[in-house]
Structure 1
């Protein structure tokens, strides 16, 4: 009899089998946004989509957008560290 597998591993295997693992990893960038940037920044931003390694984030003001550009590389690093692989290569604030 084989040993039971953790549910996490089973889900990852299913995602890979159906070709959905990359899209799931992209979703994680959106799901982890608030925990990576904090509540203050999250209250002024909305992560919308990840496409070809680019995370698109809607920002509620030009002031916040300009501020976030300075922290872009740090945010990318935090997101990728949290996801466990380099999913986000760029962030476009709009």
Structure 2
């Protein structure tokens, strides 16, 4: 990691971002749901729980709250303790 950071600092066309993971970028993309689903898409209805979980997870992360205590997340992923933030972000974005 140090070597990557040292190389990146010497480049003018490289930007370092302080992010949790790539999945978090998808999670934070607020228009993702509108972009993926048409308003009459049956998957929008079928995946409503994962959409709510996505919103709750993003809210918890932005408030620096413990996402593993949010009721909607625990209900959606009963084994939430087995997931790290990257896995949970991916699951809620891509489910």
Regarding TM over 0.5, the answer is no
Which has the larger strand fraction? 1
| TM-score normalized with structure 2 length | 0.28
Q: Which has the higher contact order (CA 8 A, sep 6+)?
A: 2
| Structure 1 or 2: more helix by fraction | 2
**TM norm structure 1:** 0.28
